[in-house]
Amino acid sequence: MTTDRSNGLPSVTQCQCGCGEPLAPALSTRRARGRSNPVRFLKGHRPRLLNPGHDVDPTTGCWLWRGYVNPRTGYAGMMQHEGQPTVAHRAYYLRRHGEIPSGFQLDHLCRTRRCVNPDHLEPVLPKVNVRRSRATRLTEEQIDYVRRSIIAGRGCVEVAREIGVSHSMVSMIVARKRWR
């Protein structure tokens, strides 16, 4: 994108839907209400933003979302499903498998949040989804080890440093507030 010298507004040279097709010079600006506005899309291309599609990763089989990815969560952006904005992986699952049971969430079995492959998604209860998440760094064996170590008289800080978690997490594990 460059700046148009005649009006100081950005001059768009390619369609902004992601197709990369060039805009005709006559389309680079349009007159509207007495001022120039940049044209960002070829006719009919704006809806592509709502359903940009996916690319297939040949090694994992993941369908990697081509559109917006939330930088905070890493999940694929929104798309239209039956006229409603829906998170992309959920829309792909609904198209292939139908409704998600009430109270269930979709878990990415491949652990790739950008993946929209419905075969890589499984409806699970929220507590199962949390337990399987990347944030969960401990195995069942490590949880047993933490509890045995504390019972044996070792300190929370010492055990926490050994397994790489906070001492408050060790305290919650022992108190069964986490990993019941």
pLDDT band at 131 (very low <50, low <70, confident <90, very high): confident
Segment 47-57 shows an average pLDDT of 69
pLDDT band at 3 (very low <50, low <70, confident <90, very high): very low
- Cα(77)–Cα(97) distance, integer angstroms: 20
Proportion of the chain above pLDDT 90, given as a percent = 19
pTM for the predicted model, two decimal places: 0.52
Residue with tokens 């050994």: 162
The per-residue pLDDT for range 63-115, each reduced to its tens digit, is 988 888 887 788 887 887 887 888 889 989 998 999 999 999 999 888 888 89
Most confident of 61-75, 108-122, 162-176: 108-122
DSSP 89: H
3-state secondary structure of 95: helix
Extents of the domains making up the chain: 2-47, 50-132, 140-174
Q: Residue 75 and residue 9: Cα distance in Å, rounded?
A: 32
pLDDT recorded at residue 1 = 47
pLDDT for 7-35, tens place per residue? 554 455 666 655 667 776 655 445 544 45
CATH number of 50-132, picked from 3.30.360.10, 3.90.75.20, 1.10.10.10, 3.40.50.360: 3.90.75.20
Confidence at residue 157, expressed as pLDDT on a 0 to 100 scale? 87
Q: Between the CA of residue 76 and those of 89, 91, 101, 159, 165, what are the distances in Å?
A: 7, 11, 21, 37, 29
Q: Which tokens sit at 69?
A: 């990815």
Sign of torsion over alpha carbons 123, 57, 20, 2: positive
Which residue in the block uniquely carries the two structure tokens 């790739």? 112
Asked if the model's pLDDT at residue 124 lies above 80, the reply is yes
Which structure tokens are listed for 122?
A: 């499984």
